[in-house]
Structure 1
Amino acid sequence: MDPFKSSSMSPSIKLPWLPVRTKMGWPRRGQIYVWITFTSLLLFFCVTLTFNGHVWKMFDSNMHLDEYDDANEGYGLRKLLEDPEARIERLRQEGLEKRLPQCIIIGVRKCGTRALLEFLDLHPNIKIADMEMHFFNKDENYDNGYEWYRKYMPFSTSKDITIEKTPRYFISESAPERIFRYNSSIKLIVIFRHPTTRVISDYSQVYENKLERNKSFEPFEKIVIDKRTGRVNTGYKAVRISMYYYHLTQWLLYFRRHQIHIVNGDNLIVNPLEEIKKVETFLGLDHAITDGNVYFNETRGFYCMKSGINQHCLGAQKGRKHPDIDPQVIRKLNNFYRPYNRKLFAMIGQKFDWD
């Protein structure tokens, strides 16, 4: 009996997805498998393209709509397929809004600002902006206004604290006054690291980026020391950034000392929980981040984050090994920074072991 014939199917009807019978009989089994495979692949690509088109349209309409994943845990596929405007309206009905930051991490570059931000993200009442916004230090961003700034903030409740981080604010001439005009009572966080170590870290990042683009780059010693005078080259931007005293002076023209919390970046590396607890106190929050949220990763060589069964470490570009530096150059840098460090300690009423 012909398996493709039945009393309810007319012989004149041709099914496009079935192989056609020839005078020599039905195609071989291999040909049938080819048709089945081709049909399955075509169907898969059609479904994939349709689904991805919908998801891309959703993300394109609001590139930061997924910043509040924790608030939507459990919604699963519905969250992906939900209309963006409908989702925003639902979040607002649940008391969630995109709020302007009540706290800003203003610096310093290569002192551990990203690590600090991600550790703080473990707190249930801290919501972080993933991007460095450069709102208060770049005219083209600042001219867009506060509503432009707000739309890149995470969703939060009225009990939460939103934090934004842009390390370049610390050395910006315009940022202190602009932030003061935005919110004169805002809380600011700055993180300091040994100034010489920070310069080397700064150099290491730029050096590796140059190598990846096959560009040449002078050795650290030739950049940091002026060839003509033999002194520390203050024309090198990385050297100037580590002169913390001068930059912090500009912030204290607008903000009171109690509004600025200073994190010990060197201690954050070896004892992150101690520094995190100080920040929680500064923000007026309960100590919700515990030793169960922090663990030392033997492979990476530094502390990582843990929330429930989820573990997270900073990217591979973080914690990079520093190049070997001539000890005489290191001593020269330490001597150069020592008077500036003493002025800084007197200004902030806090001392670090940088000698």
Structure 2
Amino acid sequence: MEMKINFIGIGAQKCASTWVHRVLSDHPEVAVLPGKEIDFFSYYYNFGYEWYERHVGEIDPVKMVGEVSPSYFYDTDTPERVFLYNPNMRIVLSLRDPIERAYSNHLHEVRLGHVTGQNLEFENGLMNNPMYLLQSSYAQQLARWLTVFPRNQILVIFQEDIRDDPLGQALNLYHFLGISEDYQSWFLKKKINESLVIKNTKIDYFLKRLGKLGRSIGASEIVETTKKNDLVCRLRRKYNQIDLRQVIPPMRDDTKIHLQNVLADDMRELSLQLGREDLPWPSWKALHNKAK
């Protein structure tokens, strides 16, 4: 049975979008497009709806069908394109402290090999890549979505709240999508370390090929169970992963203060957009302490 996509996770980038994807992927009333970042409305819109919906394929009837693509949040054309496709789309936006997000964004670019040499330092990376700051300007991005979609079709959750109360945030997500709140995902309390980089790419490639082979011969369940095994995860972390936060210098204090000042108006506007006076971020607390 073919179904129209009726919910999307739109980011922001490096803001728990993987958690949203995984927590919904194993819910029995949800079908999530395989993998993250289909990027249809941002990068592949010219491919057409048939290409987009082909990712769903033939599925059993479920309440919600969706995907997660962090590029949607900051892409200027995406809100109207999504509305044209499905004006009733449910939209999940996950955010985190905008300054920490910018630093995490930098680690992501380092991991991908997009920055080298002197640009490995965050301060140089910040000057090298204007998107670090643009993608942390949440109110600026959210304003475009609120001009197209009513506020009640957009759920905003915070990575910090997910960290402190994963079950509560999962129930919040399930309620928003209108699916059973009795289910508890295996991924609920898993921690994603976005700063890990692979030591040996050959080993990583071999493991991925092994997984692909297992799926091709009908052993998908065994492959997924093995990937979730705590012992396997610990071995991969110990022998084939490096934490970039132990290698890349931390953000300087003066840089943090500078970014707090630059993003102050955007954070204030975001609090108005969300109708809440508090945001669970150190940068928000620093902003209010400065104002006193």
TM-score (normalised: structure 2) = 0.73
User: How far apart are residue 292 of structure 1 and its match?
Assistant: 6.6
Partner of 1:332: 258
Specify the code of the residue in structure 1 equivalent to 2:23: F
**Candidates 105, 117, 138, aligned match of 1:216:** 117
Count matched residues: 241
Partner of 2:92: 189
Question: Does the residue aligned with 2:156 lie in a helix, a strand or coil?
Answer: strand
Specify the code of the residue in structure 2 equivalent to 1:222: N
The separation in 1 between residues aligned to 2:89 and 2:26, in whole angstroms, is: 22
**Partners of 1:137 and 1:175 within 8 A in 2:** yes
Partner of 2:69: 166
Unmatched segments (≥5 aa) in structure 2: 195-220, 286-292
**Candidates 267, 277, 280, aligned match of 2:174:** 280
Partner of 2:40: 135
User: How far apart are residue 187 of structure 1 and its match?
Assistant: 0.5
Specify the code of the residue in structure 2 equivalent to 1:248: L
Q: Confirm or deny that 1:343 pairs with 2:269.
A: yes
Specify the code of the residue in structure 1 equivalent to 2:45: Y
Q: Give the structure with the larger helix fraction.
A: 2
User: How far apart are residue 125 of structure 1 and its match?
Assistant: 0.7
Partner of 1:352: 279
Unmatched segments (≥5 aa) in structure 1: 1-96, 226-232, 301-306
% identity of equivalent residues = 23
Summarize deviations over 1:88-111 as a string: whole Å, max 9, x none: xxxxxxxxx242311011111110
User: How far apart are residue 268 of structure 1 and its match?
Assistant: 1.6
Within a 5 Å distance, the mapping from 1:87-106 to structure 2 comes to 97-106=1-10
Say if 1:127 and 1:333 are closer, same or farther in 2 by CA, change over 3 A.
same
The separation in 2 between residues aligned to 1:319 and 1:270, in whole angstroms, is: 25
Partner of 1:250: 144
The separation in 2 between residues aligned to 1:266 and 1:335, in whole angstroms, is: 21
TM-score (normalised: structure 1) = 0.60
The separation in 2 between residues aligned to 1:334 and 1:319, in whole angstroms, is: 29
Within a 5 Å distance, the mapping from 1:1-355 to structure 2 comes to 97-131=1-35, 132-138=37-43, 141-153=44-56, 155-210=58-113, 215-218=116-119, 219-224=121-126, 236-290=130-184, 294-295=188-189, 310=225, 311=228, 320-322=243-245, 323=248, 324-350=250-276, 351-354=278-281, 355=285
**Partners of 1:192 and 1:265 within 8 A in 2:** yes
Partner of 1:73: none
**Partners of 1:107 and 1:166 within 8 A in 2:** yes
Larger CA deviation: 128-137 vs 244-253: 128-137
Say if 1:209 and 1:296 are closer, same or farther in 2 by CA, change over 3 A.
closer
Summarize deviations over 1:200-234 as a string: whole Å, max 9, x none: 000011123228x9x43511123436xxxxxxx9x
User: How far apart are residue 295 of structure 1 and its match?
Assistant: 4.3
Summarize deviations over 1:113-170 as a string: whole Å, max 9, x none: 01211012231111111242211112xx222221111111254333331111111111
Say if 1:291 and 1:152 are closer, same or farther in 2 by CA, change over 3 A.
closer
